[in-house]
């Protein structure tokens, strides 16, 4: 989220390159959706401890 009123999503391609496309939204329903997406990916993530 950018702040309490907007969110932005930036993605990477399958090869790990930065994708120039992004999504910005500010409606209350979009903010709820962004929170759910963030929580989903947070729950699916694995902590990186060794590089």
pLDDT of residue 3: 72
Can you tell me the distance from the alpha carbon of 7 to that of 34, in angstroms, rounded to the nearest whole number? 7
pLDDT score recorded for residue 51: 64
Q: Report pLDDT digits (tens) over 1-45.
A: 557 778 887 888 889 888 888 778 888 888 888 889 889 989 999
Q: Residue 2 has what pLDDT?
A: 55
Tokens of 6: 């907007």
CA distances from 50 to 12, 46, 47 (A): 22, 12, 9
Q: Which helix (H) or strand (E) holds 41?
A: helix 28-44
Extended beta strands in the chain, E state = 7-12, 18-25
Domain parsing of the chain, residue ranges: 7-44
pTM of the entire predicted model: 0.59
Q: What is the pLDDT of residue 47?
A: 85
More confident site: 51 or 7: 7
């Amino acid at each position: 989220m950018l702040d309490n009123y907007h969110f932005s999503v930036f993605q990477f391609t399958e090869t790990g390159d930065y994708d120039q496309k992004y999504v910005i939204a500010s409606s209350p329903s979009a903010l709820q959706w962004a929170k759910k997406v963030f929580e989903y990916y947070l729950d699916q993530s694995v902590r990186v401890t060794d590089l």
